[in-house]
Structure 1
Amino acid sequence: MALDAWYIDDSDEDQRMPHRQNPNQPVSCEDLQKLGIFHFKLNADIYETDPELEKIRKDHGYSYSDIITIAKDTLPNYEDKLKMFFQEHLHLDEEIRYILDGRAYFDVRDKDDRWIRISMVKGDLITLPAGIYHRFTMDETNYTKAMRLFVGEPVWKAYNRPADDTDIRQQYLSSLECA
């Protein structure tokens, strides 16, 4: 099953809504790959023993993982955390998320600085390249359980926009010029 992604509208209504433009402007997996974003569809019911996940982890060097449940009754300061996750930022390292249950959205910037919303559901694993501006939010169900994967030790530092002068942002932009 293909990943569902689209350009979002400029409405300031609840961030948890889909925000599809009218008419909808879908974004293909190929277009996401040009931005350095990769998607895998896995069987989340067997994530603990899934040979496909193990192969991805081995091939990419994802040696650390943890699991986070994001819901009003499980995540302390839920609303504050959601606002923090939705702040546009970048990381110095790749970001990898695997949805084990529930649903959520990742928003990413394209080459022209337009927002693309990526709908993540159970079984979706996504990789965002270091240096890409992005943000995360829940959908209206307010629930997701996700595995976070890292190369080596986890790195949580986010660099809020503007971070255009960072080396990693410049490297990312250069990679887009070659694509």
Structure 2
Amino acid sequence: MGIEAWYMDSSEEDQRKPHKLSPPRPVSPEQLQALGVFHWKLNADIYETDPELEQIRKSRGYSYMDIITIHKDKLPNYEDKLKMFYEEHLHLDDEIRYILEGRAYFDIRDREDRWIRIAMTTGDLITLPAGIYHRFTLDETNYAKAMRLFVGEPVWKSYNRPADDFQIRQQYVASLQGS
């Protein structure tokens, strides 16, 4: 089964709710790929020894890995971190996340600047391209344990919107013109 994604409503209600349009407007894995977003479904129970994960890491050069648990009892400054993750931003590098336990959402902007919500559950690995505007939140379960992967040294810096003058943003937007 592929990943579930949909266009979001404009409600300001709790960010952890699904925010589906009525009627819903689903987004296909192919539409996500056209925006540079890729997904794999893996067996999170064996993440420490999973040959499929190892193959993805080797083929894409993901040499650094750590694990973050996003829960009020596990993450210092939990509420502040959730607010920060939910600020619309971009990175100068790809963002790679693998959900080991729990559930969360990544929201990304499409070509017309509309929000698409991507539902992440245990076993979902996703890559967001450098330069894409996005944000992250938990769902109503308020819990996710995720692996963070990087090419080389980890880069934690995010640039809140507006960041349209960044070269990486311009390269990302240009890459959409060709697809």
| TM-score, length basis structure 1 | 1.00
Residue deviations 1:58-88, cap 9 Å, x none?
0000000000000011011111110000000
What is the identity, as a one-letter code, of the residue corresponding to 2:19?
A: H
Match of 1:148 in 2: 148
Give the SS at the match of 2:101. Answer: strand
Residue deviations 1:125-178, cap 9 Å, x none?
000000000000000000000000000000000010000000000000000000
Match of 1:125 in 2: 125
| TM-score, length basis structure 2 | 1.00
What is the identity, as a one-letter code, of the residue corresponding to 2:135?
A: R
Structure 2 unaligned blocks of 5 or more: none
What is the identity, as a one-letter code, of the residue corresponding to 1:74?
A: K
Aligned-partner Cα distance in 1 for 2:108–2:166? 18
What is the identity, as a one-letter code, of the residue corresponding to 1:126?
A: I
Match of 2:18 in 1: 18
**Where do 4+ consecutive residues of structure 1 move more than 3 Å?**
none
Alignment of 1:64-103 (within 5 A): 64-103=64-103
Match of 1:167 in 2: 167
Aligned-partner Cα distance in 2 for 1:24–1:146? 28
| RMSD (CA atoms) | 0.3
Give the SS at the match of 1:6. Answer: strand
Match of 1:2 in 2: 2
What is the identity, as a one-letter code, of the residue corresponding to 1:42?
A: L
Give the SS at the match of 2:63. Answer: strand
Aligned-partner Cα distance in 2 for 1:122–1:5? 15
Residue deviations 1:91-128, cap 9 Å, x none?
00000000000000000000000000000000000000
What is the identity, as a one-letter code, of the residue corresponding to 2:23?
A: P
Match of 1:109 in 2: 109
Match of 1:177 in 2: 177
What is the identity, as a one-letter code, of the residue corresponding to 1:76?
A: P
What is the identity, as a one-letter code, of the residue corresponding to 1:50?
A: D
Aligned-partner Cα distance in 1 for 2:8–2:121? 18
Count of residues in correspondence between the two structures: 179
Structure 1 unaligned blocks of 5 or more: none
Aligned-partner Cα distance in 1 for 2:150–2:82? 21
Aligned-partner Cα distance in 1 for 2:113–2:124? 24
What is the identity, as a one-letter code, of the residue corresponding to 2:22?
A: N
What is the identity, as a one-letter code, of the residue corresponding to 1:69?
A: T
